[in-house]
Amino acid sequence: LVILGKEGREATMRRQKRFEARARAAKLRHDAQIENADFRAARGLDRNLFMALAGCGWIRKHHGLLVTGPAGVGKSWLACALGHQACREDFSVAYHRLPRLFAALALARGDGQYGRILKSLARTDLLILDDWGPEKLNDDQRRDLLEIIEDRYERRSTIVTSQVPVDRWWEIIANPTLADAILDRLVHNAYRIDLTGESMRKQRPPIVPENTEA
């Protein structure tokens, strides 16, 4: 019994170390936990859907998730909470703000790292592309996005968050042919969370400076 207990503790420690390593590698924007999700605010978050997504079965099936809504309603937080949970379930996760990822890919074209970055994105179990839009994509960005989504389609799972409703993403891509190709792959087999309401940042109490003695 002592040996089994020791083996159990060691197995738990190994799982914890794997989780911590995956969480560090993911570089999530928020230290968000599923159990801290706020379902009280009137923002259109379906508890049953969100908790089902927390089970990570959709990642095993290589489905996607599209999260839309105004600024400050918690899109990035929810995406990071699901990313954190995926790390716990031993999936590899990578978080990127899409504007910065586009900038990194533009630089990578010049230093020979473009292919390496695309391969890394392609093999990650869950890729979080945060903060897409509302600026229109240029030609390089359109092709970058198509490469990323094509490599992952029905092979890996992707979360995309945006202030822009999904039915207006065609306008952001701004190229009919590439828009059809990208959106067909993004929307197919993807769950949707459409958040509403005022910014949750407005609900936070103001920061009061501490009194300091001279």
pLDDT in tens, 155-186: 999 999 999 999 999 999 999 999 999 999 99
Please tell me the distance from the alpha carbon of residue 212 to that of residue 24, in angstroms, as a whole number. 37
Identify whether the C-beta of residue 86 lies closer than 8 Å to the C-beta of residue 126.
yes
Quick one: residue 172, left, alpha or beta (phi over 0 = left, psi -120 to 50 = alpha)?
Answer: alpha
Identify whether the C-beta of residue 108 lies closer than 8 Å to the C-beta of residue 147.
no
What percentage of the chain has pLDDT greater than the value 90?
A: 79
Per-residue pLDDT at 9? 79
* Mean pLDDT of the chain, nearest integer: 91
Assigned architecture for domain 2-198: 3-Layer(aba) Sandwich (3.40)
Is residue 74 pLDDT above 50, yes or no? Answer: yes
Q: Which two tokens stand for residue 120?
A: 């890394």
Where do runs of H (alpha helix) occur along the chain? 2-26, 47-54, 57-60, 75-88, 98-111, 114-123, 139-152, 169-173, 176-187
121 pLDDT band (50/70/90 cuts)?
Answer: very high
What percentage of the chain has pLDDT greater than the value 70?
A: 90
Is residue 214 pLDDT above 50, yes or no? Answer: no
15 pLDDT band (50/70/90 cuts)?
Answer: confident
